[in-house]
């Protein structure tokens, strides 16, 4: 897709298939080995028993007769020529080629060879000791059984490859179905994994094809239980992103709209300056234009503050003393306070309480500044503005009260809307002050409440912070 695509981790399909193959190989390998070992051992036991039986048969028919005889040369018992030269392992009418791989010898106690089969050498197969043993001659491993019968030793031997051929075949017969089953299983598994993962591919397609502003949540025809939580979380995120986008869009549209009137005023005054017929007219229009500029600057600052307050980012976590913020706000408004002969009373409880809350200093400063600005703006001349900081338990509250005309109860929710101005409050307000207060309070986990300052008169705004609680974010 693009250069930023992360290098993918090993795919689920590969991991599952490789894991399954390795596990199967381990299990089957062990099974095959055990099967081989088991059948080889069983075959060994069977062959050993048969070897011993052969020795006893020889003993029964041969040993007694040769015991007392003296022979100038050993008797050699030959096999029919066809068998010796057959070279294949198909049984024939006379016997089997493998008979050449089976041999016997009969020795007397003095070490003279009495009888031997044609396939047996003239030397001893093994030292004359009773029981089974492994020997090598003619570059071949042999299994030898020695039996003493009176004065005679009977040795019967069988080439190992006869035996191992059987046990290999037995083991192979056991393993082949396992291997075939494994192959079938792997193919089935690959198909199943493909089917199981198909919803993921569908999901990826849907996300890829999605427009940023799309309204509908992502839906899959078949949502496996494992993907459902992912899908829910994804749709939740999409919804929040869309809401945030919508708020941004509305904010921009509102801002553009709200700027029209102050800009219209600026333009009218500027043109009036240009068209002025007398210096007096020019002076009047110029002063009005400057007032308009100040207001427009203030409006854009408030827009920025509101945009910041409403931003979903985690607020910075510093201890902010509200008392200091109040002092700063009063200082900022000093000229207006003096001009309108207002009195600002600041009370804290308990005394000297700094009323610290944790949060973003700039945003909290904007909250306090806007509360005081409103109070100063709407307070009648020569009245008193009361600011109270209070700590009770784990709550810190800031209360600002003025003696203005108050906010009627039915408008106490609406005044928090952005750009809402109360009827009759014509003029300089941006309509954003209380919206900034509300947004900032929300991101700091505080509540805002408007009431009468005194029964039926004035406005009191109280912001309550939970000092122990970490500020909450909107998201």
Enumerate binding residues for other proteins (CB under 8 A).
Answer: 257-258, 260-269, 271-272, 275-277, 281, 284-285, 288, 291-292, 295, 421-428
CA distance 277 to 300: 33
Nearest to residue 371, comparing CAs of 343, 341, 329, 338? Answer: 329
Are the beta carbons of 359 and 316 closer than 8 angstroms?
yes
On the 0-12 / 13-18 / 19+ scale of CB atoms within 10 A, 373 is buried
CA distance 326 to 339: 19
CA distance 106 to 117: 9
Tell me whether the omega of the peptide bond preceding residue 326 falls within 30 degrees of 0, making it cis: no
* Residue number, 101 or 412, with CB nearest to other proteins: 412
* Residue number, 248 or 281, with CB nearest to other proteins: 281
> Least CB distance from residue 338 to other proteins, whole Å?
22
Buried b / exposed e across 444-460, counting CB within 10 Å, b at 16+? bbbebebbebeeeebbb
> Least CB distance from residue 296 to other proteins, whole Å?
10
> Least CB distance from residue 305 to other proteins, whole Å?
21
Helices (DSSP H) in 59-136: which residue ranges?
Answer: 64-67, 81-86
CA distance 228 to 209: 20
CA distance 8 to 5: 8
* Residue number, 89 or 413, with CB nearest to other proteins: 413
CA distance 76 to 119: 9
Residue whose tokens read 């070897």: 51
> Least CB distance from residue 411 to other proteins, whole Å?
11
> Least CB distance from residue 217 to other proteins, whole Å?
30
Are the beta carbons of 353 and 389 closer than 8 angstroms?
yes
User: What is the token pair recorded at 402?
Assistant: 């003025």
CA distance 297 to 157: 113
* Residue number, 252 or 271, with CB nearest to other proteins: 271
> Least CB distance from residue 278 to other proteins, whole Å?
9
> Least CB distance from residue 429 to other proteins, whole Å?
11
* Residue number, 20 or 425, with CB nearest to other proteins: 425
* Residue number, 201 or 264, with CB nearest to other proteins: 264
> Least CB distance from residue 365 to other proteins, whole Å?
28
* Residue number, 292 or 365, with CB nearest to other proteins: 292
176 phi-psi bin (left φ>0, alpha ψ -120 to 50, beta other) = alpha
> Least CB distance from residue 300 to other proteins, whole Å?
15
User: What is the token pair recorded at 361?
Assistant: 């200093």
* Residue number, 37 or 294, with CB nearest to other proteins: 294
* Residue number, 291 or 384, with CB nearest to other proteins: 291
Q: How far is the first Cα of the chain from the last one, in angstroms, to the nearest whole number?
A: 30
């Amino acid at each position: 897709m693009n250069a930023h695509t992360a290098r993918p981790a090993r795919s689920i399909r590969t991991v599952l298939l490789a894991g399954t193959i390795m596990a199967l190989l381990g299990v089957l390998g062990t099974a095959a080995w055990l099967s081989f070992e088991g059948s080889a051992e069983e075959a060994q036991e069977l062959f050993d028993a048969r070897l011993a039986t052969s020795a006893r048969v020889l003993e029964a028919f041969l040993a007694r007769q040769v015991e007392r005889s003296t022979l100038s040369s050993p008797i050699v018992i030959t096999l029919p020529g066809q068998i010796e030269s057959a070279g294949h392992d198909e049984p024939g009418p006379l016997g089997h080629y493998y008979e050449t791989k089976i041999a016997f010898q009969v020795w007397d106690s003095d070490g003279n060879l009495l009888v031997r089969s044609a396939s047996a050498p003239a030397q001893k197969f093994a030292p004359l000791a009773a029981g089974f043993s492994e020997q090598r001659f003619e570059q071949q491993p042999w299994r030898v059984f020695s039996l003493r019968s009176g004065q005679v030793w009977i040795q019967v031997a069988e080439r190992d490859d006869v035996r191992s051929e059987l046990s290999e075949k037995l083991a192979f017969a056991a393993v082949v179905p396992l291997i075939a089953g494994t192959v079938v299983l792997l193919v089935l598994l690959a198909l199943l994994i493909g089917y199981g993962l198909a919803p993921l591919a569908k999901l990826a397609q849907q996300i890829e094809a999605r427009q940023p502003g799309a309204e509908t949540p992502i839906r899959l025809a078949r949502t496996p239980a494992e993907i459902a939580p992912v899908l829910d979380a994804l749709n939740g995120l999409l919804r929040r992103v869309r809401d945030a986008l919508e708020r941004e869009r509305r904010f921009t549209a509102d801002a553009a709209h709200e700027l029209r009137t102050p800009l219209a005023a600026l333009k009218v005054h500027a043109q009036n300056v240009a068209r002025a017929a007398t210096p007096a007219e020019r002076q009047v229009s110029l002063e009005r234009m400057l007032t308009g500029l100040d207001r427009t600057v203030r409006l854009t600052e408030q827009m920025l503050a509101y945009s910041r307050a409403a931003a979903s980012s985690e607020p910075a976590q510093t201890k902010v003393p509200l008392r200091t913020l109040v002092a700063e706000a009063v200082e900022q408004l000093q000229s207006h306070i003096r001009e309108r002969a207002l009195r600002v009373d600041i009370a804290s409880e308990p005394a000297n309480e700094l009323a610290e809350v944790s949060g973003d200093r700039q945003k909290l400063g904007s909250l306090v500044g806007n509360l005081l600005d409103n109070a100063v703006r709407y307070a009648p001349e020569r009245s008193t503005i009361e600011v109270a900081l209070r700590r009770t338990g784990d709550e810190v509250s800031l209360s600002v009260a003025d003696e203005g005309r108050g906010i009627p109860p039915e408008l106490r929710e609406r005044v928090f809307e952005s750009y809402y101005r109360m009827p009759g409050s014509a003029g300089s307000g941006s309509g954003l002050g209380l919206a900034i207060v509300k947004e900032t309070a929300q991101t700091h986990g505080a509540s805002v409440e408007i009431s009468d300052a005194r029964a039926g008169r004035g406005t009191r705004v109280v912001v309550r912070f939970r000092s122990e609680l970490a500020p909450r974010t909107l998201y």
